[in-house]
Structure formats: C-alpha cells, structure tokens
C-alpha cells in the first residue's frame, strides 16, 4: 500500500463522513434548492390580475358588456342591483357599473383595485363611445431578470449556506469529536494539529464550492438568473465567507464540551444574522439607528458583496471595504480560538 500524507487522508475521511450523512447532504444541497423553488414560485412576478366588474342588468347593459371584452383584461358579470351590492361588499367585484342615460360607477375609493378598475372601465367605455385620442402612444413592456425577487434571493441563500455550513461544519464537528473523546485520541498520536485543522477547513472549502456551483447553476437553469460579475470574484468571496464562518465555528467550539451547549451558542450567534443580514429581505428596512450594527455583521458584508457581484457585476476592488470587514472577523476569530482551544 502506498502511504499517503495524513493531510490528504484527513480531508478524505472528512469528505467521506459528510457524504455518508444523509442529513448533511439534505441541508447542504437539497434544502437551499427547495427554498429557492418555494420562495421563487411564491413571490414570482405575476401578470396583472384581471379586472372584475359587475354590470347591473338594465336597459343598455349589453352595450357596456361588449365595451369590456376579456381581451382587455376584464371579467364582467351581469347581475341584479342587490347582488351587485353584495359582491362589491365581499370584494368579488372591484366596480359596479349601472347603465342608463348616464353611467353610474359604484366602488370603494380606498381599494386600490377598485380605483384602477374605475380608470380602466371609464377609459374603455369612453373609447367605445367614440373618443378620439389626441396623443399617439406606443408601449414597450420590460421585465428584466435581475430585478426580480428570485434574483435577490439566490445570493442571500448562498450567503446563508456559507454561514450555517461553516458554523455547523466546523463548530459542531469539533464539539462532537470532543464529546466522543476522539479529539483526545487524535492528540495522543503524532498527528500535526495544523494538518487536522487545515483538513477541516479544506473540506469546508470543497463543500462551499460545490454548493455555490449547484445553486448558481440551478438559478441559471430554472430562473434564468443572469450572473453579471466574474465567477472568480464570486468564488473568492465564497471562500472568504467560508473562512470567516469556520473561524466563528471554531470559536464557538474551542472550549465547549457538550453538543447541546454548542447548538445553543451557535444559534445565538447565527440568529441575528439570519434576521438582519439580508438573506430574505433587504437590511435597508431596519431603522437608520441600527444600520451601523447591521452593516458590521459578517454575513451582511458577505451578502452585500455577493449581490453586488452577481447582480450588478461589481469587481473585487469595489468590494474591498466589505472584504476587509470579513477578513477582520475571520482573523480575530481564528486568533482567539486557537489561543484558547482545548484539545482534551
């Protein structure tokens, strides 16, 4: 048997363990895709709803109905005056038209759809009555990829995955190894500690790389995500993110002996970032007073930088502020964690 370097075998062991753990495969690869599909479908940009109009059956209602064709986006029902009042109250129609010598519109001016319906119906009726438009208009409709919710979401999901992967993949792993005394057992061999920690980091990087490729490819394939920035820049940001959150994971794990304590600590660290760092909605929604805090979180920096690169094609130098912030988080976490890390 050819003897291999312990570092390689440690990486190999780590990757094997990960791939043999169904939960890991689910959380790392399947879950973000499910989330993207679910949220992408729920918040897709829909065509405008059709306009529901009730026409009170009376002399001249035929004329009104024919002026409001389905092709114009109208859905018209002809009904009695009583029923029209009911439907308007229940919101089943946006507007009631009472035909007669002069038209009467009944609607609630506080309902946006009713106001829109009044404008559209009035326009259509006037035109049917022979109004001549003094100004000629052409309309060009644009729905650009890049401004949709799914475009906002995918970089956020990538950031979220890098965070939870780093925290669990390093923090939880080490505490688990400590609680089964495996860490102690390894320390009793001539294994170099740098090989060991390096292997954990390396397997994290490999996983982050796979996650990123999968999520971006999926976004491109299914949602026609357009990646504006360079893939190199995106990869570099992802690797930097993996470094930062491995450091935080290591910090959480450095003295914790119990799995439960570690889970608690980990959630405590991650929760503010889940909420504030712009995974699902923009952190700009928070009040100006807390913005400096929100912007100082490493996940905010990562998400902002990923979005700027993926959606706006930002270059690496333009993100240097965010990169420096992340580097600072990573270096400080590592320095502190390695200093106080307990091996046995």
Partner 1 sequence: MDIAIRCRDLRKVYEGKPPVEALRGLDLEVRAGECFGILGPNGAGKTTTVEILEGILQASGGEVEVLGLRWGRSDRALRERIGVSLQETRLADKLTVEETLDLFGSFYEKGRSALEVMAEVGLTEKRSAWVVKLSGGQRQRLAVACALIGNPDLLFLDEPTTGLDPQSRRQIWDIVRDLRRRGRTILLTTHYMDEAERLCDRVAVVDHGRVIALGTPSELIASLKGEHVVEFAVNGNVEPRPLDPQSLLALPSVRSVRSEPGGLLMTVDEPHVAIPALLERLGREGHGLSRLATRHASLEDVFVALTGRRLRDE
CB neighbour burial string for 299-323, b if at least 16 within 10 angstroms, e if fewer = bbbbbbbbbbbbbeebebebbeebb
* Smallest separation (angstroms) from partner 1 to the CB of 16: 6
* Smallest separation (angstroms) from partner 1 to the CB of 19: 9
Q: Which stretch binds partner 1 (CB under 8 A): 4-12, 225-233, 254-262, 320-328?
A: 4-12
Residues binding partner 1: number (CB under 8 A): 24
Query: Please, which residues bridge with residue 106 across strands?
Result: 96
- The runs of H, that is alpha helices, within 297-319 are 298-312
Residue 310 near residue 230 (C-beta atoms within 8 A): no
Query: How large is the angle between the packed helices 231-253 and 320-340, nearest 10 degrees?
Result: 30
Q: Which stretch binds partner 1 (CB under 8 A): 181-189, 274-282, 286-294, 304-312?
A: 181-189
Query: Among 9, 147, 271, 290, which residue sits at the site for partner 1 (rule: CB under 8 A)?
Result: 9
* Smallest separation (angstroms) from partner 1 to the CB of 303: 33
CA–CA dist 145, 291 (Å, integer): 28
Query: Among 77, 191, 316, 338, which residue sits at the site for partner 1 (rule: CB under 8 A)?
Result: 191
Q: Is 181 in the site for partner 1 (CB under 8 A)?
A: yes
CA–CA dist 26, 122 (Å, integer): 54
Q: Is 267 in the site for partner 1 (CB under 8 A)?
A: no
Query: Please, which residues bridge with residue 77 across strands?
Result: 54
Q: Is 15 in the site for partner 1 (CB under 8 A)?
A: no
Query: Among 17, 123, 126, 312, which residue sits at the site for partner 1 (rule: CB under 8 A)?
Result: 17
* Smallest separation (angstroms) from partner 1 to the CB of 187: 6
Q: How many CB atoms within 10 Å of residue 109? A: 8
- Strand ranges (DSSP E) for the chain? 51-56, 74-79, 95-98, 104-106
Q: Is 6 in the site for partner 1 (CB under 8 A)?
A: yes
Q: Is 180 in the site for partner 1 (CB under 8 A)?
A: yes
**Closer by beta carbon to partner 1, 3 or else 138:** 3
For tokens 């897709």, the residue is: 44
CA–CA dist 125, 324 (Å, integer): 62
> How is residue 56 written in tokens?
């009170």
* Smallest separation (angstroms) from partner 1 to the CB of 32: 23
Q: Is 188 in the site for partner 1 (CB under 8 A)?
A: yes
CA–CA dist 306, 300 (Å, integer): 10
**Closer by beta carbon to partner 1, 119 or else 182:** 182
* Smallest separation (angstroms) from partner 1 to the CB of 257: 13
**Closer by beta carbon to partner 1, 232 or else 343:** 343
Which uninterrupted H or E stretch holds 19? helix 6-19
Question: Binding string to partner 1 for residues 133 to 172, with x set by CB under 8 A, is what?
Answer: ----------------------------------------
Comparing CA positions, the residue from 219, 271, 242 lying closest to residue 159 is: 242
Q: Is 49 in the site for partner 1 (CB under 8 A)?
A: no
Residue 156 near residue 231 (C-beta atoms within 8 A): no
Binding region for partner 1 (CB under 8 A): 1, 3-6, 9-10, 13, 16-17, 20-21, 180-182, 184-185, 187-191, 343-344
């Amino acid at each position: 048997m050819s003897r291999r370097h312990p570092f390689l075998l440690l990486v190999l062991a780590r990757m094997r363990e990960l791939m043999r753990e169904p939960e890991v495969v689910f959380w790392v690869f399947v879950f973000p895709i499910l989330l993207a599909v679910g949220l992408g479908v729920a918040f897709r940009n829909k065509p405008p709803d059709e306009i529901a109009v009730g026409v009170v059956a009376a002399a001249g209602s035929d004329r009104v109905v024919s002026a409001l064709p389905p092709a114009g986006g109208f859905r018209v029902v002809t009904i009695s005056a009583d029923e029209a009042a009911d439907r308007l109250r229940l919101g089943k129609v946006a507007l009631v038209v009472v035909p007669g010598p002069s038209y009467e519109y009944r609607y609630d001016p506080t309902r946006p759809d009713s106001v829109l319906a009044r404008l559209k119906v009035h326009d259509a009726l006037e035109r049917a009555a022979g109004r001549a438009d003094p100004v000629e208009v052409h309309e060009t409709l644009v729905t650009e990829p890049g401004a949709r919710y799914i475009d906002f979401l995918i970089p956020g999901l990538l950031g979220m995955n890098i965070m939870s992967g780093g925290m669990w993949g390093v923090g939880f792993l080490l505490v688990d190894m400590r609680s089964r005394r495996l860490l102690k057992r390894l320390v009793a061999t001539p294994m170099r500690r740098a090989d060991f920690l390096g292997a954990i980091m390396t397997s994290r990087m490999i996983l982050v790389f796979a996650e990123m490729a999968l999520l971006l490819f999926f976004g491109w394939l299914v949602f026609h995500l357009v990646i504006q920035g360079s893939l190199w820049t995106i990869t570099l940001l992802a690797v930097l993110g993996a470094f930062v959150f491995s450091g935080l994971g290591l910090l959480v794990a450095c003295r914790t002996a119990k799995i439960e304590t570690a889970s608690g600590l980990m959630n405590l660290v991650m929760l503010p970032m889940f909420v504030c760092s712009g995974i699902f909605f923009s952190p700009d929604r928070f009040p100006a007073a807390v913005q400096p805090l929100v912007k100082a979180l490493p996940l905010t920096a990562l998400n902002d930088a990923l979005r700027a690169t993926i959606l706006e094609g930002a270059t690496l130098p333009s993100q240097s502020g965010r990169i420096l912030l992340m580097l600072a988080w990573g270096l400080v976490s590592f320095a502190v964690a390695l200093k106080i890390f307990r091996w046995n």
